[in-house]
Amino acid sequence: MKRFVYINDDSCQNSYCDNRISNTKYTLWNFLPKNLWEQFRRFMNQYFLLIACLQLWSRITPVSPATTWGPLIIIFIVSASKEAWDDYNRYLSDKKANERKVWVVKDGIHRQMKAQEIHVGDLVWLHENDEIPCDLVLIGTSDAQGICYVETAALDGEIDLKTRVIPSISANLSPEQLGKVKGVVECPNPDNDIRRFDANMRLFPPIIDNEKCPLTINNTLLQSCYLRYTEWACGIAVYTGNETKSGMSRGTAEPKLTAADAMIDKLTVAIFMFQIVVVLVLGFVGNIWKDTRGLKQWYLMYPAKGPWYDFLVIPLRFELLCSIMIPISIKVTLDLAKAVYAKFIDWDEQMFDHETRTPAHSANTAISEDLGQVEYILSDKTGTLTENRMIFRRCCISDTMYGNDNGDAVKDVRLLNAVSSNDPDVIKFLMVMALCNTVVPIKSNDGTVSYKAQSQDEEALVNAASNLNMMLISKDSSTAEICFKGSKFYYKLLDILEFTSDRKRMSVVVKEGQTGKILLLSKGADEAILPCSYPGQQIRSYLEAVEMYSQLGLRTLCLGWRELKEDEYKDWSKKFQEASCSLDNRECKIAEVCHSLERDLHILGVTAIEDRLQDGVPETIKLLRNAGINVWMITGDKQNTAIQIGLLCNLITSEPNGQLLSINGNSEEEVLRSLERALVTMKTTRETKDLAFVLDGWALEIILKHSKESFTRLAMLSRTAICCRMTPLQKAQLVGLLKSVGYLTLAIGDGGNDVRMIQEANIGVGISGREGLQAAGAADYSIGKFKFLKRLILVHGRYSYNRTAFLSQYSFYKSLLICFIQILFSFLSGLSGTSLFNSISLMAYNVFYTSLPVMTIIFDKDISETTVLQYPQILLYSQAGRLLNPSTFSGWFGRSLYHALVIFLITICAYADEKSEIDELSMVALSGCIWLQAFVVTLDTNSFTYPQIILIWGNFVAFYMINLILSAVPTLQMYTIMFRLCSQPSYWITMALIVAVGMGPVLAFRYLRNLYRPSAINLLQQIEQTNGCVQTSRDLEPALESARSNLTNLLTGLCRNRGLNYQPLLSDSAEAAR
């Protein structure tokens, strides 16, 4: 589909939307119904709404409806308020953008208006530092050469300035003519591809002849960018409002479900099924008791004959009574805790990068616990493991290698002498380095020239050429000027054959100003340039140079050129123009035309650029691998370069302790055979050697097409892999492959080509690097350096998982405890579904008494950060979900049942006499719950801080103060109850007995387990406690050594258990839920 934009034609403006931006989710009128719909799409909220509605039926409700309606309304108000506040802030941001003043030219007259009043076809006039209000086709600038500079960081995160040029059709128009121009732009319908714009433009007479001119993304100014270093620029509005490329890119990301959340959902379903069984059994037995004995009890006042639905009353009463088995506040509690986890990451000073002044940032507050369960890390290389600071180190020109002796070709005497003696091959080599690029030279006031480049490789090459006296001093859309040994040389830039990930090369066609010769200058990857050499040229020395440089971990590029005949160029230029004007499949057509020209090249040589490892990368990878995490490197670089970097950063192990299995071949059959050989080797020798495999993008394409299942098995067996020559799509495919078999993946990168991989992974981490902020903006977490990943995973991820595991299971425990007491009481109340607790106590129990103490766990640390980093193998506990699974939940379930029996039986024995009121019995049981839970939280807390002590025991004191106040209100059912209980010694003896009987067996079990079957965490805690003594006595040293020995054996056993039978964390229904 196409759109036709008529320039300065008011009659066609209403065909498209205006420039009003709207990022709000709600309006004033639809907020309430839409927000209610959003909240009640969740199963748990639907469940509690049903319970709350059933409680309105007075015949069946055992307690006041307020016990469910109160918490439900509070939860709704909290969630709705947060949504409303976020949406209001979006509204204010939109309002500011929409009411910003801009200049628009109508019939040659400059008018100022609000940005929201711009329409498609309007001519927008911009001044320096203005924000671009909509997507424009650039048609004029203050620069004589028709170029302007744009800062695109807000759009794509890239910090380097971009050059934009006017189309050739408007090159000679004056500012007065621009204001009155008429014409039409033929372009695609709106899309979100910020790197592509395939369109054509015609200008109508009398301004210019009615000829077609192709437009590309380099002729556009996109919304949210800024005009820099340009006095003015003007453009035609082609996309406005939410139809701009920036507006189309905005959207709500799909929420990610963590492994812990998936487990909580399964446990919730299990509890719900258990609840249904309990309700049916108790309802059935209750009806039998009522028919056989209840009707005979005159004081129960059962009617002789009830309505037809009478048999449903008791089951429904039990359903309402047991509804608190599923904690209503669990989601709010976990959301609040996760928000705090995210803030801990933001506030971590040890993850602050002082070099770039970049703090760590958590953009996704919902998945912190997944960091502690990561099984696979898939990392980019350039800019992620390396610094992305390119330095020209070596080169090979005409079979001669420079820089091998001192590691710096620029200082190689032989190369300097070759430049001085005007060696023709060397001079041509330097000329290609200086001209074949998209670098923009910027001249300062003192005459010095600096370079702005979108590619760090290009900047390194141009700087190296400058240091060798071949200096690029000026460049615009049509000309370039080079200074060599004080002499200036001019070149006309005829065409640029842009680099693409498919072509893996770029070329420029230039015309020498002095001789008039037309030259094709090319540079690119060795596999893209060397096959294009002229027949008969010997390229073996260049292949050897590429191999040698790759072995040193250097990035290589090959350079070539050829002279074009004028007739050949004219014929080719016509085809290139036709392909450039095509609106259908333009990229493929351009690539085909470019390939027809890039042939018979005279290969000049090879460049080698160093990209050093970031500080701390080898130590970080070693630590992560020791933690049981599989680390893969996925890069677009050559295989040998990637292997060398892998050796340097501890990713792979050299012979004889390690072995690298290569998956390659010259045909599909050879690739598939090498895959099968690698799979057999991996199965038979992985226990004796540190194995890894390496493959390139071509091999991966064949494998995914013909043998995906075998490759999946190999991926599951391999702890390390190096994947080279990968496209952005292939990077994402590898992540998706590991996710499909249930592994929890983390992808980390720094550039725009890593975004698809980052978004595909369970967890995306972006590095705020020299390639900009595009990866960081698309990620769940952003960090300044790769080395901070160890703290993000081992410290923040592990603590978050541990805390979430306790919070979720404790929430079920406290709800099950009060529910089991209600069920036990029903056996004393004729199985009628009567509640032991009054409505106020039940509501306060859920909202106040048990919510605050448990939040102290968000500050808890079972072992110190230093110990975690010293013993990274401890992460295997959270990786395998050891703290939150059906087994651990069964323990909490059993504890809640046992504590309910203790509280109920002791309370009944102590207060079940004729003098005790039901309200007294209720308050004693409720007090027992509060006492036990205070001790449970205290017992499960590993590190105490003042906030924790205040919240746990301050809440305990607050319980008595609140109930003493309520007992002083004559109109309440609880009047004088707490005063009477507190004055009785038997009450305090009962509380002490409940704590002793309830906690005694728990303490004994833990003591015996720690003594005879301690976990690695228990041993580490013992070591910390012993080392924490001011003076470790000689008597403790044997115990300390024994603990360390046991710890080593335990951690070794944990690692061995992750053998061939190891199952992915998300291998069952959790992955389906995700």
Provide the annotated active-site residues. 380
Burial of 845 (0-12, 13-18, 19+ CB in 10 A): buried
Q: What are phi and psi of 578, to 5 degrees?
A: -65, -45
Cα–Cα dist 901/898, whole Å: 5
Closest C-alpha among 745, 744, 739, 867 to residue 799: 867
Count other Cβ atoms within 10 Å, centred on residue 170: 24
Cα separations in angstroms, 759 against 209, 369, 701, 942: 47, 18, 21, 36
| Strand partners for 101 | 114
**Residue 537 neighbours by CB under 8 Å, 6+ apart:** 602, 603
Check: CB of residue 476 under 8 Å from CB of residue 489. no
* CB contact at 8 A, 378 and 731: yes
Cα–Cα distance for residue pair 1017/1006, rounded to 1 Å:
13
CA distances from 490 to 163, 481, 919 (A): 20, 5, 99
* DSSP assignment of 167-217: -GGGTT--HHHHHT--EEEEEEPP---TT---EEEEE-TTTS----EEE-G
Residue 25 Cα distances to 22, 30, 97, 216, 332, angstroms:
9, 10, 17, 33, 22
Distance CA 435, CA 471 (A): 10
What gap in Å lies between CA 528 and CA 992, rounded to an integer? Answer: 81
Q: Are 697 and 727 in contact (CB under 8 A)?
A: yes
- Tokens 């450039």 label which residue? 580
Rounded Cα–Cα distance for residues 40 and 34 (Å): 10
Which residues make Cβ contacts (< 8 Å) with residue 660, sequence separation at least 6?
643, 652, 691, 692, 693, 694, 722
Residue pair 480/460 in contact (Cβ under 8 Å)? The answer is no
Q: How many CA atoms lie within 13 A of 215 on its CB side?
A: 28
Handedness of CA 686, 688, 689, 690 (dihedral sign): positive
Strands 220-221 and 135-141: antiparallel
Q: Which of 876, 881, 883, 739 is nearest to 794 (CA)?
A: 876
Strand bridging mode 690-696 / 658-663:
parallel
Closest CA to 608 of 415, 793, 413: 415
Q: Are 235 and 124 in contact (CB under 8 A)?
A: yes
Cβ-Cβ contacts under 8 Å for 288 (sequence gap 6 or more): none
Place of tokens 């959790």: 1070
In single-letter form, the type of residue at position 436 comes to C
Tokens of 796: 């923040």
Give how far Cα 1067 sits from Cα of 346, 371, 421, 740, Å: 32, 17, 67, 9
Here the tokens at position 261 are 């959340």
State the DSSP H helix or E strand holding residue 454, giving kind and residue range, or none if neither: none
Closest CA to 656 of 687, 688, 698: 688
Give strand pairing partners of 227.
150
